[in-house]
Amino acid sequence: MDQNKTTSFIPALGYDFLTAYYDMAIKLTMPEKKFRRILVESINPQDDESILEFGFGTGQNLILVKNQNRNIKLTGLDIDPKVKDIANYKLAKNNLTVPLDLYSGNIFPYPDNHFDKIYSCLVFHQLDADTKTNCLKEIYRVLKPGGELIIADWGKADNKIMRLTFGIVQMLDGFKSTDDNVKGKMPEYIAKGGFENVQIIQSINTAIGTFSYFKARKKLSKL
């Protein structure tokens, strides 16, 4: 495989022309302040930590995490050039500087054991099984031993109503990539990626499904 060739990907809201409306869609369909607050609390950024957001999207989480602690080394990684332009505009508007990187969908452009924490929000439900697996392997590689992974994404439907309403997400982002999330398989993927202490630390029900927070750690190096 050509590592420089960008693999196909599902844009925000499923279609490229809808990307500009992503922030509005989140505001209308989810308890935005609540789910982002829980995410930032779960990340708990500490002074001098090197933190990566995998799939930075329109940059809203970058702004919140950086404002939570200005003394961190925060970086964003995404595959979509269109959202990079949006995120850069929003960061500049908030007088924040965060390096944003694009990648081809294969190898992350960072060395081994580089980040203290990596978080991701509303990304993994857009990835098919192989891509989920490959991304988790890359995250594992670039995390420092003992480093922490936080994923905020759709989880197992809490009840029949949540399973039914999640159909809206599946119609936009595809049934193939989202099925594993709604069936509760994300912890299995994370564990198969080599992580330990895999937990669902919290779940909240929204108008369009059950949203969960997954946390895990990279194993410490053996002496």
Rounded to whole angstroms, the Cα distance separating 74 from 220 reads 23
Please indicate, yes or no, if residue 163 is contained in any of the structural domains: yes
Q: Could you list the residue range(s) of the whole structural domain that residue 209 is in?
A: 12-217
* Structure-block tokens of residue 104: 């081809």
Instruction: Answer whether residue 222 is part of any domain.
Output: no
Q: What is the CATH number of the domain that holds 57?
A: 3.40.50.150
Place of tokens 């929000």: 121
Looking at residue 208, its pLDDT comes to 83
Within-domain flag for 185 = yes
192, 159 Cβ separation under 8 angstroms: no
Model pLDDT, residue 206: 87
Residue 128: which of 76, 185, 82, 78 has the closest Cα? 185
Q: Do 123 and 54 contact (CB within 8 A), yes or no?
A: yes
Note the pTM of the prediction, 2 decimals. Answer: 0.86
Q: What is the pLDDT of residues 14-71, one digit of tens each?
A: 444 345 545 666 766 677 889 999 999 999 999 999 999 999 999 999 999 999 999 9
186 CB-near residues (< 8 Å, 6+ apart): 124, 151, 153, 155, 180, 212, 214
Whether 35 is covered by a domain: the verdict is yes
What digits encode the pLDDT tens for the residues 64-93? 999 999 999 999 999 989 899 999 999 999
pLDDT digits (tens, 9 = 90+) for 130-141: 999 999 999 999
Distance (Å, whole) CA 65 – CA 72:
9
pLDDT at 7 over 70: no
Residue 7 lies in a domain: no
Band (9; pLDDT cuts 50, 70, 90) = very low
* Number of independent structural domains in the chain: 1
Q: Which residue has the tokens 């308890």?
A: 31
Percent of the chain with pLDDT over 90: 66
Of the candidates 91, 202, 97, the residue with the CA atom closest to the CA atom of residue 150: 202
